A and B are shown apart, each in its own frame.
Chain A
Amino acid sequence: MRRVFLFIPMLLAIILGVTLYAGIGKDSTALESELIGDPVPMFELASLEDADVTLGPELFRGHVSLMNVWGTWCPACRDEHGDLVWLAREKGVRIVGLNYKDTRAKAIEWLDTLGDPYSVNIYDPEGRLGYDMGVYGAPETFVIDKEGIVRYRHVGVVDEKVWETTLEPLVREYGGEG
């Protein structure tokens, strides 16, 4: 009877194998989100720059925005930071930052030295909004339309190529006039 237990490792291996097989060939940077087509979940969080300012989902109303999830602990975020600054300054894109599982002092110092591409920054040290958005790491970037509806989720670094091939058409589509 106990021999039955010896088959457990094999079963686990098969389950793992099926999962891995499903992952082959998919673009691992374009993970689907359950939220696509839904409004940004309700949240009440402080702004990064000023702890007394409380932000909520209404901040997405009226403009198409990119919501960029970042943290000073994330080396890839540093990688894309220059590109975000370029997007904000040269392309005039509205970028909302979600400072994710970070500390306020470090994040502010980072923006002071590397430049600040964000029109507003949501401070989320416990990852609460991140959890609701289904974020599993940083960096991630969401396209959110004028009504505050999540339209697209990009996992990984945003650079010029990602902007031109994926994000810009979406921003143009949901922004109406572009």
Chain B
Amino acid sequence: MLPELGQFSLILALLLACLLATVPLVGSLTGRDGLQAFARPLAAGQFVFLAVAFGILTHAFMVDDFSVSYVANNSNSMLPWYYKFSAVWGSHEGSLLLWTMILAGWTLAVAIFSRRLPAAMIAQVLAIMGMICVGFLLFMLITSSPFVRILPDVPADGADLNPLLQDFGLIVHPPMLYMGYVGFSVAFAFAIAALINGRLDAAWARWSRPWTTVAWAFLSIGIALGSWWAYYELGWGGWWFWDPVENASLLPWLAGTALVHSLAVTEKRGVFKSWTVLLAILTFSLSLLGAFLVRSGVLTSVHAFASDPERGKFLLALLAITIISSLTLYAFRAPVVHSRVRYGSLSREVFLLLNNVLMMAALLLVLVGTLYPLILDYLDLGRISIGEPFYNLTFSPVAIAVALLMGVGIFSRWKKTDAGWLGKHLLWPAAWSLVIAVLVPLWHGSFEPWAFIGCFAAAWVAVATLQDVWHKSASRHGRWHGAQRQSRSYYGMVLGHLGLAITMAGATVVSNYGIERDVRMSPGDTASIGELQFEFAAIGNREGANFTAQTAQVNVSKNGDPITTLYPEKRQYRVQQSIMTEAGIDGGLFRDLFVALGEQVGDNAWAMRLQYKPLVRWLWLGAIFMAVGGLLAVADKRYRIKEKLPAAKAGAGTKTGAGTGRGTDPGNDSAEVTA
């Protein structure tokens, strides 16, 4: 009975979404306030019914209702309860429901937190989000309902959740990632509404900004969690595989990063409008493209969902309608501005523009790398070899360029920056970075050109950022007073940039100075990495809730002093009969020790993979910094101004409360409206 109610609830949500997509929009175009006022209650209703459906599916998992096909395929009565819970989004149908519910959640959030926006604007934004929701609900109901029953032959037990996914990382990774993907739909909806109205002004940018930043922060965390999960769960200690699905999450992140910066320029200076609005469309389109790539089966990947041509076609149609209609609207409505150049060649505007250019370059590299099998296949040209080496070769220089540019850009000012003044400011960062870039390779014992460049770039960003904080916090009333005078959005930016420096340092050091050894060991054997000795002490069997494991005991010591004992495992999951490697990891801020148990390669010998991973945690620590920075920026005072800004003149109003962060910016007072 309950699963049918779940299905019914989805249908009700679809009906409400259809109303949300039309009624407020008609209201806003005909100027009838009564119709616009429907937007908020409809958004709430749509969310409630999706949440009910989600709750019912969760209930079906919790009570082991194997008459529901999705539950039977992805759960088992032996599964621990927390994995039964996360199994709700462990496969295609359920994760689609989660995706759609989060979309409705964002819609509701916009409805709640946008009381001060003009009614017509908010009606349009909610209507556009309603349209997206209609698309996904149709997709779910037509091709992928999670509530389909297996009747009358109900299986006695379920086929179990894929063991790869039985892990804490999977409980949190998809929701975070989807919060990010779907969150960009808000920026998209604002962009489309602004295009419809022809009001691409600073006020539009200011409204979009916090939503974009929050989505970006969630996506950063989601990607980092995925990378962390791959690191300890896939068993080989890699943290990024350039797998199509990973790339699918990186693409909207790169576009989103560009968008966050471009929105800053549009808000502060009223320029780059057409570009910003295109980026907003692009970012969300790439989120949808990611969904398509993962769920259509056009690319092979470690974690793609089971492929089904019908689903692929439906999603592609959804993608096509969204993108082509929004780009058509863009082509007709985006402002073609013949503006006088209001900024010099060394202005902050130009630095942020270059940032966007580099982000687009990185994005194109990843996009081409991801899609080339498809494109070549289509053109019948099977003649190019690229794989992981391609990305490492091309992506790293772009990342370095981003960092070098950022260090300079941090000191730049709106409108124009004096070259001599800028040069003086860069002396210290240059000196410090050079010292660090020389010391790090010396410390690790060997000089690698990439390590030098990477460390230099990371240190460059970090030192420049900190130096900027030092300058900005100078005050007659003492440094503490000066530091407090800076806005939250400024500190958000500082954290975001430091986060990038940290991630970059981690990636550089672990790629260049990580040590991996594949050895063959019998109990009693010792293998060493540098000064560390790994003693394979014993191996035995262990019973888990739904698996049997071979567990090895490995004692790690340094010159005779014990450091830690690791227990790497090979688990045989009973229901799916699949084997999983569970690595033994001793984590630390400066290094991880990683031992994975491999195949048995003789009567009493096993393949072992021993790894020393310096600074590997920094990869994810940096992402946490970025996300916290993003959330801090959103908590800035200027997003909570009480007065209602008259939309037409909002551009001039952006100064209110915004000046705090840019106390030294000469250009802040004259955010012109160019349209």
Contacts and interface: CB of A to CB of B under 8 A. Distances in A.
B387 A136 contact: yes
A14 to B, nearest CB: 7
Contact of B320 (A17, A25, A127): A17
Contacts of B312: 24-25
B373 A136 contact: yes
Interface residues of A, number: 49
Interface stretch (B5-13, B160-168, B324-332): B324-332
B327 A31 contact: no
Interface in A17-38: 17-26, 28-29, 31-34
Contacts of B238: 75
A91 interface: no
B529 interface: no
B377 A26 contact: yes
Contacts, number: 143
Interface stretch (A45-53, A55-63, A106-114, A166-174): A106-114
26 contacts: A6-B332, A6-B336, A7-B331, A10-B328, A10-B331, A13-B285, A13-B327, A17-B319, A23-B296, A24-B313, A24-B316, A28-B373, A29-B300, A31-B382, A78-B236, A101-B389, A113-B520, A113-B598, A127-B389, A131-B385, A134-B382, A134-B383, A134-B384, A134-B385, A137-B385, A138-B387
Contacts of B383: 34, 131, 134
B405 interface: no
A173 to B, nearest CB: 23
A32 B320 CA distance: 27
A108 to B, nearest CB: 11
B334 interface: yes
B389 A73 contact: yes
A3 to B, nearest CB: 5
B297 interface: yes
A156 to B, nearest CB: 5
Nearest to A110: B518
A111 B387 CA distance: 21
A37 B319 CA distance: 38
Contacts of A161: none
B376 A136 contact: yes
A136 B323 contact: no
Contacts of B309: 24-25
A164 to B, nearest CB: 17
A29 to B, nearest CB: 6
A175 interface: no
A92 to B, nearest CB: 20
Nearest to B376: A136
Contacts of B313: 21, 24
B298 A23 contact: yes
Contact of B384 (A2, A110, A136): A136
A3 B328 CA distance: 12
Interface residues of B, number: 57
Name the 4 nearest CB pairs between A and B, nearest first.
A25-B309, A10-B327, A23-B298, A134-B382
Contact of A9 (B278, B336, B378, B386): B278
A6 B331 contact: yes
Given A6-B336, A136-B373, 12 more contacts: A2-B336, A3-B331, A10-B331, A20-B292, A26-B298, A71-B387, A75-B302, A101-B385, A127-B385, A134-B385, A136-B386, A137-B386
A32 B336 CA distance: 45
B26 interface: no
Contact of A31 (B373, B520, B601): B373
Contacts of A7: 331
Which of B298, B302, B385, B601 is most buried by chain A, counting CB atoms within 10 A of its CB?
B385
Contacts of A31: 373, 377, 382
Contacts of B435: none
B327 A114 contact: no
Interface of A: 2-3, 6-7, 9-10, 13-14, 16-26, 28-29, 31-34, 71, 73-76, 78, 82, 101, 109-110, 112-115, 127, 130-131, 134-138, 155-156
B297 A75 contact: no
A24 B308 CA distance: 9
B241 interface: yes
B331 A75 contact: no
Given A3-B336, A32-B382, A114 B374 contact: no
Nearest to B377: A31
Given A23-B298, A113-B519, A6 B373 contact: no
Interface in B298-326: 298-300, 302, 309, 312-313, 316, 319-320, 323-324
Nearest to A22: B378
Contact of B382 (A18, A33, A110, A112): A33
A36 B316 CA distance: 31
B643 to A, nearest CB: 35
A113 B518 contact: yes
Given A22-B378, A113-B518, A28 B297 contact: yes
B141 interface: no
Nearest to A128: B385
B234 interface: yes
Given A6-B330, A20-B374, A75-B238, A156 B386 contact: no
Contacts of B330: 6, 9-10
B4 interface: no
A79 B327 CA distance: 43
A166 to B, nearest CB: 15
Contacts of B285: 13
B371 interface: yes
Interface string B379-404: 01111111111000000000000000
A13 B336 contact: no
A66 B328 CA distance: 50
B599 interface: yes
Contact of A114 (B377, B387, B607): B607
B375 interface: yes
Contacts of A155: 300, 373
